[in-house]
Amino acid sequence: MEIKINAPVDMDIMKQLKAGDMVYITGTIYTARDAAHKRMDEALTRGEKLPIELKNNLIYYMGPSPAREGRPIGSAGPTTASRMDKYTPKLLDLGLAGMIGKGKRSQEVIDAMMRNGAVYFAAIGGAGALLSKAITKAEVIAYDDLGTEAIRRLEVKDFPVIVVIDSDGTNLYDK
């Protein structure tokens, strides 16, 4: 089934998504990879505020290549999500609505998703140039010194993803 959603997301809609659904996201999403997740975790440990609002938002595990002339971003393919697994349950408990990446997730992440009504989406690996066409604006908003791993705010239009693990814990990788 093909579904269009807006980001930030409505959690009632997230709970209706099922593993295997094709979803097109329009709105604002954020990027963060390993180094940014480590910094956010350290900030939370120190009791500091995060550089992004997690509630009802989506994080895309992606580090872009440099933008070509006239484009807001270069190739924007997903990175392996499991590298963020040790940080993800805490972020989900703080209101993160979902993640976009590739590859399997740990049981701890799946349990946190079910506890919080969150969803894990897969973007097509190897299709970064195609995915970048759905990104209309990109701006670094935190941890600029991390280069490609800096946190970015992306504006997307009909960004294509597949629900891999839904809020009930149904896992497309297991089917």
Q: Which residues are catalytic?
A: 37
Task: State the Cα torsion 93-168-12-108 to the nearest 10°.
Answer: 10
Angle at 65 between CA 61 and CA 69, to 5 degrees: 130
- Cα–Cα distances in Å, from 24 out to 43, 70, 73, 167? 32, 24, 19, 18
DSSP β-ladder status, 98-101 and 119-122: parallel
Contact 60, 31 (CB under 8 A): yes
